[in-house]
Structure 1
């Protein structure tokens, strides 16, 4: 299992296809999950969750990779 960040156009009424997909290195899993307010990786709820701009910025800083700011970003656990 791993975290996956996916991005979609902000106005997805015309195009709801995925525009960005990124799997952070597993070494960041616990830090990212705690940043999102969860106890640990396995306590993270199922599904995909919209990231606030501040959360995306914090994750970018943590992992050393700039996530796109022009998209709606979601994060979830994938098998």
Structure 2
């Protein structure tokens, strides 16, 4: 089953590429809603790889998931395969 993962990293100018935030979204309905927010596609249509999220998308994802995303990070969303 495919699911979405949101990761957060410091901006490039910090010169620290270590993972600062990770959230796996395995709920199918939430993943579908996130796919619509970030790519205007269904989860099944989202291509493999990662996409940088805009501030607006991060805000919408935060509201949808009821998660406070740490400030000052750049966020990416991508598909993952797993059970």
TM-score of the superposed pair, with normalisation by structure 2? 0.84
Aligned residue pairs: how many?
A: 79
Q: How far is the alpha carbon of 1:12 from its aligned partner?
A: 5.4
CA 1:25–1:12: 2 relative to 1, 3 Å = farther
- CA distance in structure 2 between the partners assigned to 1:29 and 1:23 by the alignment: 10
Q: How far is the alpha carbon of 1:25 from its aligned partner?
A: 4.5
Runs of 4+ in 1 over 2 A off after TM superposition: 11-14
Larger helix percent: 2
Structure 1: which 5+ runs fail to align?
Answer: none
Alignment partner of 2:41 out of 29, 39, 42? 39
Structure 2: which 5+ runs fail to align?
Answer: none
RMSD: 1.5
Question: 1:21-69 deviations in whole A, cap 9, x for unaligned?
Answer: 1112413011111112332101012100000011000010011111223
